Structure 1
Amino acid sequence: MSTILVTGGTGTLGRHVTERLRTDGHGVRVLSRHARPYGVDLRAGGPDLDAALAGVPTVVHCASSPRGGDEEAAEHLIEAARRAGVEHLVYVSIVGVDRVPYGYYRTKYAVEQRIERSGLGFTILRATQFHDLLVTLFEALAKSPVLPLPARVSDQPVEVTEVAARLAGLALAAPAGRVPDMGGPEIRSLDSLARAYLRATGRRRAVTNLPLFGSTYRAFRTGGHLAPELATGKGTFEEHLARRFGRE
Structure 2
Amino acid sequence: MTTILVTGGTGTLGRHVVERLRTDAREVRVLSRHSRPYAVDLRRGGSALDAALTGVDTVVHCASTPRGGDEEAAGNLVAAARRAGVGHVVYISIVGVDRVPFGYYRTKFAVERLLEESGLGWTVLRTTQFHDLVLTVLRGLGRSPVMPLPARVKDQPVEVTEVADRLAELATGGPAGRVADMGGPEVRTLESLARSYLEVTGRRRAVVKVPLRGAAYRAFRAGDHLAPERAVGKGTFEEFLAARAERARAGG
TM range (shorter): over 0.9
The residue that corresponds to 1:156 in the other structure is 156
| SS at 1:135 equivalent | helix
The residue that corresponds to 2:226 in the other structure is 226
Deviation at 1:24, TM superposition (A): 7.5
Deviation at 1:27, TM superposition (A): 1.7
The residue that corresponds to 1:101 in the other structure is 101
| SS at 2:233 equivalent | coil
The residue that corresponds to 2:206 in the other structure is 206
Identity %, equivalent residues:
73
State the distance in 1 between where 2:174 and 2:111 align.
20
Q: Is the 8 A contact 2:4 2:59 kept in 1?
A: yes
The residue that corresponds to 1:238 in the other structure is 238
Unaligned runs of 5+ in 1: none
State the distance in 1 between where 2:66 and 2:54 align.
29
Deviation at 1:23, TM superposition (A): 5.3
Deviation at 1:230, TM superposition (A): 0.4
State the distance in 2 between where 1:2 and 1:96 align.
33
State the distance in 1 between where 2:24 and 2:179 align.
22
The residue that corresponds to 2:217 in the other structure is 217
Q: Does 1:91 align with 2:91?
A: yes
Q: Which amino acid aligns with 1:16?
A: H
TM-score by length of 2: 0.96
State the distance in 2 between where 1:54 and 1:122 align.
18
The residue that corresponds to 1:33 in the other structure is 33
State the distance in 2 between where 1:154 and 1:228 align.
11
State the distance in 1 between where 2:118 and 2:128 align.
25
Q: Is the 8 A contact 2:2 2:25 kept in 1?
A: no
Deviation at 1:26, TM superposition (A): 2.8
Unaligned runs of 5+ in 2: none
Q: Which amino acid aligns with 1:107?
A: T
Q: Which amino acid aligns with 1:188?
A: R
Per the alignment, do residues 172 and 219 of structure 1 end up closer, same or farther by CA in structure 2, a change over 3 Å counting?
Answer: same
Q: Which amino acid aligns with 2:60?
A: V
Could you list the per-position Cα deviations for residues 18-73 of structure 1 after superposition, in whole angstroms to 9, with x for gaps in the alignment? 01111575321000001000000000000000000000010000000000000000
RMSD across aligned C-alpha pairs, in angstroms? 1.0
Q: Which amino acid aligns with 1:220?
A: F
State the distance in 1 between where 2:141 and 2:228 align.
27
The residue that corresponds to 1:78 in the other structure is 78
Could you list the per-position Cα deviations for residues 70-119 of structure 1 after superposition, in whole angstroms to 9, with x for gaps in the alignment? 00000000000000000000000000000000000000000000000000
TM-score by length of 1: 0.98
Q: Which amino acid aligns with 1:159?
A: E
Q: Does 1:138 align with 2:130?
A: no
Could you list the per-position Cα deviations for residues 130-186 of structure 1 after superposition, in whole angstroms to 9, with x for gaps in the alignment? 000011011111110001000000000000000000000000001000000000000
